[in-house]
């Protein structure tokens, strides 16, 4: 932006000099020079108003997020009131004519990271045996979703493995005794790809929930369709909107951990992802390759695309350490 301003000032000075030199020339020639100069100014202004991805910066309205869960789970997640809600600070400046003095995407991302992003833990719980995933994530199966500026609700919090096999992240040797979710196991896909995360094909009895628990070897899991929950605690997620975020290639999301009995918020993680400057597609966006805050300090030996949600969940809801076989309740 300083460079654009320098060009503009330089051009005005140069145009003034040329007009003074042309004062004794014909009025027609002066008009031509002035017209060309004006056109050049508007060309520079137009170019400055494009994002690095070659998409014109546009104001709201958004186009809708893709619905990646049932309406009930979506509405509940977005209805949760946090103990500490971030306050609007009017940091973002649109600038003169939307050009000069406008906040850059990098400046805006840095500000959101410094002011809003982070983990906020209000309460921890010991010896938790099971956990409920209140809002399963849906796998993004096409590049169109990853390259759409608006379609993904929470690019920051999305991890493909969590969308595919979340029970393997939580119900394991170092995790919880059982994991509950509305997400039914995709047995056909597991069988087709030879992924042996489930011991046997589960029976869908038309009930609302699914419960998963590891077998005695912790190599595979069992799954059962049930009509009620054993879990006292759960977690959900939601996308968040900030003024001018998506037009700058920025997307935010929150992970929220709750007491299911009291609806008390135990912890929140708020983060942002910044894309843009992608030259391989027309949108300039690829949510698979982003700068993020806060970043996860990965544990040695753990895949980077696996340990993103459960590291906070297990920090707040600490698993029962005296492992023993889980006795599934009939319900």
The span from the CA of 109 to the CA of 251, in Å, is 9
**Residue 250: burial class (beta carbons within 10 Å; 0-12, 13-18, 19+):** buried
| Cα dist from 131 to 95, 249, 299, whole Å | 47, 34, 22
The span from the CA of 297 to the CA of 103, in Å, is 30
Report the percent of the chain where pLDDT is more than 70.
Answer: 76
Tens of pLDDT, residues 209-253:
999 999 888 888 899 999 999 999 999 999 999 988 988 899 999
Residues 6+ apart with CB under 8 A from 134: 73, 76, 77, 182, 234, 235, 236, 258
Structural element, H or E, at residue 312: helix 310-316
Which has more pLDDT, 255 or 101?
255
Per mean pLDDT, which range of 31-40, 83-92, 98-107, 145-154 is the poorest? 31-40
Start-end of H helices in the chain: 2-21, 27-48, 71-79, 105-115, 143-146, 160-164, 167-170, 187-192, 310-316
Closest CA to 265 of 274, 275, 276, 254: 254
User: What band does 206 get if pLDDT is binned at 50, 70 and 90?
Assistant: very high
* 60 pLDDT more than 50: no
Q: Kindly report the pTM of this predicted structure.
A: 0.79
* 197 pLDDT more than 60: yes
User: Which pair of structure tokens corresponds to residue 217?
Assistant: 């070897």
Q: Which pLDDT score is estimated for 69? A: 76
Tokens 């709201």 found at: 60
Tens of pLDDT, residues 61-99:
456 777 777 889 999 999 999 999 998 888 988 877 556
The span from the CA of 114 to the CA of 120, in Å, is 14
Tens of pLDDT, residues 102-138:
888 899 999 999 999 999 999 999 999 999 999 999 8
The answer to whether the CB of 253 falls within 8 A of the CB of 157 is: yes
User: What band does 318 get if pLDDT is binned at 50, 70 and 90?
Assistant: very high
> Domain segments of the chain: what residues?
2-48, 71-319
Tokens 């919880």 found at: 176
User: What band does 16 get if pLDDT is binned at 50, 70 and 90?
Assistant: confident
Output the DSSP codes for 215-244: -TTSSSEEEEEESS---SEEEEEEEE--TT
Closest CA to 305 of 176, 168, 191, 187: 168
* 56 pLDDT more than 50: no
Closest CA to 278 of 93, 102, 127, 146: 146
Report residue 164: phi and psi, to 5°: -85, -60
Mean pLDDT of 148-174: 89
* 48 pLDDT more than 70: no
* 10 pLDDT more than 90: no
Q: Which pLDDT score is estimated for 153? A: 93
Calculate the average pLDDT of the chain. Answer: 81
Tens of pLDDT, residues 260-295:
999 999 999 999 999 977 777 777 888 988 889 998
Q: Which pLDDT score is estimated for 97? A: 59
Mean pLDDT of 196-202: 83
User: Which pair of structure tokens corresponds to residue 225?
Assistant: 């369709």
The span from the CA of 67 to the CA of 69, in Å, is 6
| Cα dist from 259 to 72, 120, 157, 187, 264, whole Å | 18, 15, 21, 31, 5
Which has more pLDDT, 174 or 192?
174
The span from the CA of 178 to the CA of 128, in Å, is 10
Beta-bridged to residue 237, according to DSSP, are: 255
Q: Which pLDDT score is estimated for 52? A: 43
The answer to whether the CB of 177 falls within 8 A of the CB of 216 is: no
Q: Which pLDDT score is estimated for 293? A: 92
The answer to whether the CB of 172 falls within 8 A of the CB of 214 is: yes
Q: Which pLDDT score is estimated for 165? A: 87
> Cα 98 to the chain's mean position, in Å?
26
């Amino acid at each position: 932006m300083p460079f654009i301003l320098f060009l503009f000032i330089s051009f005005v000075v140069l145009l003034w000099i040329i007009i003074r030199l042309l004062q004794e020339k014909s009025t027609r020639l002066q008009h031509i020079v002035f017209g060309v100069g004006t056109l050049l100014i508007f060309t520079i202004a137009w170019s400055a108003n494009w994002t690095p991805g070659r998409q014109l910066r546009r104001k709201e309205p958004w186009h809708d997020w893709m619905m990646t869960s049932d309406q009930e789970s979506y509405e509940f997640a977005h209805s949760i009131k946090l103990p500490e809600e971030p306050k609007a600070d009017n940091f973002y400046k649109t600038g003169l004519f939307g050009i000069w003095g406008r906040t850059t995407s990098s400046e805006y991302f840095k500000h959101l990271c410094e002011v809003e992003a982070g983990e906020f833990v209000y309460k921890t719980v010991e010896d938790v045996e099971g956990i409920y995933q209140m809002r399963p994530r849906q796998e993004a199966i096409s590049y169109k979703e990853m390259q759409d500026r608006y379609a993904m609700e929470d690019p920051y919090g999305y991890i493909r493995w969590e969308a595919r096999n979340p029970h393997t992240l939580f119900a394991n040797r170092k995790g919880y005794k059982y994991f509950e979710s509305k997400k039914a196991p995709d047995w056909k896909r597991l069988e087709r790809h030879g992924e042996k995360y489930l011991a046997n094909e589960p029976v869908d009895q038309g009930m609302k929930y699914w419960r998963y628990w590891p077998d005695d070897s912790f190599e595979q899991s069992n799954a059962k369709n049930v009509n009620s929950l054993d879990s006292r605690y759960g977690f959900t997620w939601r996308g968040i909107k900030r003024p001018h975020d998506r037009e700058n290639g920025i997307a935010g999301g929150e992970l929220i951990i709750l007491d299911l009995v009291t609806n008390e918020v135990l912890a929140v993680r708020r983060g942002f992802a910044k894309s843009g400057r992608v030259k391989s597609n027309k949108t300039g966006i690829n949510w698979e390759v982003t700068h993020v805050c806060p970043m996860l300090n990965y544990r040695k030996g753990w895949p980077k695309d696996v340990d993103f949600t459960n590291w906070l969940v297990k920090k707040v809801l600490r698993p029962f350490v005296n492992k023993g076989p889980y006795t599934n309740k009939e319900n």
